[in-house]
Structure 1
């Protein structure tokens, strides 16, 4: 009897890219409840908490890169693809900064629907323009079902009349959704040639460089407190930075290696669905028929998504540094 031959590394089953992006969406779904708790305990504005979250993520990633002996490698990889790296980092900062403004000015429900709902539509249009062909009926149906679910989950029973600046909030949400769509689209070529850890270090540090000064300046202009003595709030900031930014974006970029940006953005709609589930299970919110229907519509839309082809993506220079695939 011949000995069993080992399975080559290249043929071992790896986690689905779509699954990794769904996990990132679930992690992002905890942002709202965590920010809400930190805001109530500390009095810090959501936008400033978002800036501190970015700082915590960047610091954690830099320490991890230093410990792993990959700090110089990340620097070299970033310099090898400077245009796209800066684009992804800065667009991610735009998405996050204006999303927090939209939530404050227009309310959580409206800001979420406009920002997260705009992104898959923009990517569908962008793909159609590039291919010079109308979107496939299946793709249109998936996006339509996902957006219907998003609206039901976010707007069911929501009170939107108390929004202090609804017009400005909607404009901020439009900017945020555009930033999210373009950041995901620009990240795909980088995700195909860089390993997720290096890409996360590079782009999250660049995002933090934009977000931290912006958040501090906005808080100073609005005469808001810049700090708090509540230790629990700082632990929440650390959680937000390490889990919902450093880890979640690592999962997101790993998923983009085998998933198109359009499918990825639809999959991240698990974020509001997860937030609703957390509110029902842990915060005492009562589920409504509309929110339950929206939740299952989002799940159904994600279930129809297929895997993107693994063809090389042009326009990004490959480096001579050997970068291992993620295990």
Structure 2
């Protein structure tokens, strides 16, 4: 393996990090929506997915690529269902976990578990332990995640900690599996087509779930509608196009490690927009996460193999 960073690897890493920055703004958007309309987070998540699906399907029609989505659904139906339903599921598990055990524990367990699981899976698959550089990056990222999450939500608790932790474990495990599945299918389909299919499946899964939660299911408030559009267009449609583009050239374990930029972004946004203070522990945690993600740019330290750039025009193949 070369010790130099390939342009495609660095591009993919930057795309995943950019997606994570967008995800990191989502918490603020949800908070602002709930200030105007007391929607359940599950309802907000369902509309986020549905808005993204509509926007992406319109985009596919505009560029005359809807046929590629039909072909993807025909050639990879199970994988597309897994990615779409899995994305909906890990978000749902996380939201409910937060209500049971608090933001800090939920974030550390769900986001921290995914890179560990994928790193172990890749080591078992390759029949060799992760390189020392990879382990250093992973440990630094997880330590930073713990510091950022606990410092930002030191007093956050919940009524059912055991159930909350189990739900966070379910979220992290589903996140890892979904990212691995998305990484596999992304090499055979364009990011736009894959994200369109994923959000369509996710919307079909999530929208019926809104009947099980309290609060309004729709809103006419202009500010709430604007933030719902922001969530759907930027933190779902654009962010997942970036993620699946990145997964074409970086390993899933690299992607989920780089996605730890999400809680860092959330902490910085809360400090800048809401005036929440960033203590020294949180600052050190932010620096650790950013340093670890920067370290992923070196193939020798990337949390997973550096993948070759796939043929961008290759169509989906039949199973």
Same fold (TM over 0.5): yes
Asked whether 1:21 is paired with 2:25, we answer no
2:211 alignment counterpart: 217
| TM-score, reference length from structure 1 | 0.87
Q: In structure 2, do the counterparts of structure 1 residues 63 and 161 end up closer, same or farther at CA, with 3 Å as the change threshold?
A: closer
Partner of 1:245: 236
State the match for 2:99 in structure 1: 104
Tell me how far 1:300 sits from its aligned partner.
Answer: 0.7
Q: What is the aligned partner in structure 2 of residue 166 from structure 1?
A: 161
Deviation per CA, 1:217-249: give whole Å up to 9, x if none.
Answer: 321xxx433233322111111110110000000
- TM-score, normalisation: structure 2: 0.89
CA distance in 1, matches of 2:105, 2:9: 37
Give, in angstroms, the shift of residue 317 of structure 1: 8.9
- Alpha-carbon distance between aligned partners in 2 of 1:68 and 1:29, rounded to the nearest angstrom: 29
Gaps of 5+ in 1: 1-11, 321-327
Distance 2:102 2:81 in 1: 30
| Alpha-carbon distance in 2 for matches of 1:233, 1:195 | 32
Distance 1:269 1:144 in 2: 12
Q: Deviations over 1:114-160 (max 9, x none)?
A: 11011001101111221122222221111111000001001115244
Counterpart-to-counterpart distance in 2, 1:113 and 1:245: 22
Does the 8 Å contact 2:9/2:249 carry over to 1? no
Match of 2:317 among 299, 310, 319: 319
Alignment partners' CA distance in 1, 2:227 and 2:159: 26
Q: Counterparts of 1:70-89 in structure 2 under 5 Å?
A: 70-89=65-84
Which residue does the alignment assign to 2:276? 285
Task: Give 1:67 deviation, angstroms.
Answer: 1.8
Tell me whether 1:268 sits opposite 2:266 in the alignment. no
Q: 1:232 to 1:311 in 2, by over 3 A?
A: closer
1:180 aligns with 2:178: no
Query: Which residue in the other structure is 2:111 paired with?
Result: 116
Q: Is the contact made by 1:153 and 1:295 (CA closer than 8 Å) also made in structure 2?
A: yes
Residues 129 and 237 (structure 1 numbering): CA distance in 2 closer, same or farther, change over 3 Å? Answer: same
Structure 1 partner of 2:307: 309
CA distance in 2, matches of 1:257, 1:122: 20
Shift of residue 47 of structure 1? 1.6
187, 199, 222: which is aligned to 1:231?
A: 222
Matches of 1:188 and 1:109, distance apart in 2: 28
Is the contact made by 1:181 and 1:265 (CA closer than 8 Å) also made in structure 2? yes
Which segments of 5 or more consecutive residues in structure 2 lack a partner in the other structure?
1-6, 300-305
Per the alignment, residue 191 of structure 2 pairs with 196
Counterpart-to-counterpart distance in 2, 1:211 and 1:175: 17
**Which residue of structure 1 aligns with residue 203 of structure 2?**
208
Q: 1:90 to 1:13 in 2, by over 3 A?
A: closer
Alpha-carbon distance in 1 for matches of 2:316, 2:217: 42
Q: Distance in 1 between matches of 2:59 and 2:308?
A: 29
CA displacement at 1:311 relative to structure 2: 7.2
Q: Say whether the 8 Å CA contact 2:93–2:170 is kept in structure 1.
A: yes
What is the root-mean-square deviation of aligned Cα atoms in Å? Answer: 2.2
Equivalent of 1:156 in 151, 154, 176 = 151
State the distance in 2 between where 1:99 and 1:288 align: 25
8 A contact 1:57–1:242 mirrored in 2: yes
CA distance in 2, matches of 1:155, 1:123: 24
Equivalent-residue separation in structure 1 for 2:125 and 2:100 (angstroms): 35
Q: Do 1:122 and 1:178's aligned partners in 2 also have CA atoms closer than 8 Å? A: yes
Indicate if the aligned counterparts of 2:148 and 2:263 stay in contact, CA closer than 8 A. Answer: yes
Hey, what's the Cα distance between the residues in 2 that align with 1:226 and 1:311?
Answer: 43
What's 2:4 paired with? none
Mean Cα displacement is larger for which, 55-64 or 294-303? 55-64
Whole-Å Cα distance in 2 between the matches of residues 234 and 204 of structure 1? 19
Choose 26-35 or 125-134, whichever is displaced more: 125-134
